[in-house]
Structure 1
Amino acid sequence: MTLATPAAPTRSRARILVRVVPALLLVALALTGPLLAPEATDRPVTAPYGAADGAAALGGDLLGRDVLSRLLSGGAPLIATALAIAVVVTAAATAIGILAALRPRLGRWLERAADLAILLPAVLGIMLVALAWPSGGRTAVAAAATVLGVPYAVRVVAAAAAPVVATGYVETAAAGGERLWYLTAREVLPNLRSTLLALFGLRFVEGVYVVSVAAFLQLGPRPPEADWALMIRENAPGVTLNPWAVAAPCLAVGLLAIGVNLAAEALAPARPTPETPL
């Protein structure tokens, strides 16, 4: 009795585009939003928490500033911060996690250090760093989120890399005297694409979450900056007067998180499934 060769599932381009395009459109709109804003983000155009009308399509915020203009201008800083956090965390965790898998003795120490760092509550660590940072603000929050995000990501990458390292072709390459950088870049890294894309998507969403929470704690972005997370905190007291001042940025943050996760999942390579034995 023989086993049929597993056939790699294919994904239609249309299905991938359906998941990727919404995220790309939202990111493009957020990046070009400042050019499309009908009003200045710091100039009052209505009464505080004014209702939506011809002068302000989504009404006014707590100071009467145009909610639509601030919504269009507030996405770029949040996306840039979350993207920087995701890129740095994923890159650092990839290098350390693969090293931990290829060098087991060193890996045990790295994983123990990661376990200790994970014990520190993320919100508490961000508050400590942001408050101790000389100028505070968005840079402090991003730095704290990056440092605190790496240990968890290292555990994920190391766990995914361990089975790859144990395969015959990696052991053969190591026995043949191939250097560490070659094993990392040519043998292990290509087999972690799915894990790394998923990790990047999660870290991006985590970056959005961290910046948003920091804004609620009056850390990170500061008035009068136009930022989706800051808009939610600033306008929460007047949500019954002009719901759009809070609902619009909340919807934008939610759509951004969902869109990026769907895009990362769509871009991950499909995993082959073994066929039924013949």
Structure 2
Amino acid sequence: MIRRILAGAFIALVLGGPVAAGLFDIEPSAHGTPFANGNEAGFLGTEHLGRSVGAAVLVGGQSLVVTAIIVGSLTTVFGTLLGILGALRPKLGFFIEAVADVTILVPAVILLLLTAVLYPNGGLPLLISVSVAVGTPYAARVVAAATYPVASAGYVQAAQGSGATTVSIIFRDIIPNISAVLRSVWSLRIIEALYVLATASFLGVGRSLGEFAWSAMVRDNASGISLNPWSVLAPAAALAATSIAVVALINGRQKEPKDVPSS
């Protein structure tokens, strides 16, 4: 419980970073000496343009994390529906597995770079669409693997035999029994989206995430790491800490799923 509270507080701080920066009266736009260390220029020093690293880290995480949550949530929803339908309908399941196999072989960042070249003005909608399209088949395959044992259970077959609708079977008989797997898929899809978007921003594709996106800060400040290491270490640590917090907040303490027979 304490771990989840701490993780939730950290995620809340990231999402409310711009507000927190205002409360502490620190602005990333204020210019000073580039790469001044913390002893010379306040909390965490300054970055390559002389702006506050601490303020930039607080401000830069919101867009990146919110976008990752959107991508991870959409991927999980689409992957769950496709995965369960694939388990209930073997022909569709075979197609989903084939698409997932092909998708896994193609790095998501390569597709982001390709689509960014073809559609340079796509912006944030393009990043979200490509990330969801790439992640959904893999999520569907994981969900399908968890659904097969449940789909073959007696109460599911009885529900099918009694004429229950597919929607009813999905939401009443299957999802409650794979909820632990779905939470894990959701957290992993958010983390995967977080790193894909961060990589895109690092490579200059994700400009719509903002100039203070953590990965963009790592790229821009790498040349001054010897002068002010915090200009690189702080955003990198924030990215890693966010990944850990997402897993701790969503998964928590896992419990063994129990069969919920249909009435």
**2:233 counterpart (234, 241, 247):** 247
- TM-score where L is the length of structure 2: 0.90
Question: CA offset at residue 136 of structure 1?
Answer: 4.1
**1:36 counterpart (2, 20, 29):** 20
Question: CA offset at residue 51 of structure 1?
Answer: 1.6
- TM-score where L is the length of structure 1: 0.86
Structure-2 separation of matches of 1:224 and 1:76: 10
Structure with bigger helix share is 2
Stretch moving more, 29-38 or 253-262: 29-38
List aligned pairs for 1:186-225, cutoff 5 A: 186-221=172-207, 225=211
List aligned pairs for 1:71-110, cutoff 5 A: 71-110=57-96
Asked if residue 21 in structure 1 is aligned to residue 30 in structure 2, the reply is no
Amino acid at match of 1:43: A
Q: 2:98 maps to what in 1?
A: 112
The answer to whether the Cα contact below 8 Å between 2:191 and 2:243 also exists between their aligned partners in 1 is yes
**2:114 counterpart (124, 128, 151):** 128
Structure-1 separation of matches of 2:41 and 2:62: 24
Question: CA offset at residue 54 of structure 1?
Answer: 6.5
The answer to whether the Cα contact below 8 Å between 2:64 and 2:209 also exists between their aligned partners in 1 is no
The answer to whether the Cα contact below 8 Å between 1:90 and 1:150 also exists between their aligned partners in 2 is yes
Q: Which runs of 5+ in 1 are unaligned?
A: 1-16, 273-278
Structure-1 separation of matches of 2:231 and 2:219: 10
Q: Secondary structure at the match of 1:27?
A: helix
Q: Percent of pairs identical after alignment? A: 36
Q: 1:149 maps to what in 2?
A: 135
Structure-2 separation of matches of 1:70 and 1:186: 46
Q: Which runs of 5+ in 2 are unaligned?
A: 259-263
Cα distance change, pair 223–187 in 1 and its aligned pair in 2 (3 A): closer
The answer to whether the Cα contact below 8 Å between 1:215 and 1:233 also exists between their aligned partners in 2 is no
**1:263 counterpart (238, 241, 249):** 249
Aligned residues: 255
Asked if residue 238 in structure 1 is aligned to residue 224 in structure 2, the reply is yes
Question: CA offset at residue 116 of structure 1?
Answer: 2.7
Asked if residue 175 in structure 1 is aligned to residue 161 in structure 2, the reply is yes
Amino acid at match of 2:96: L
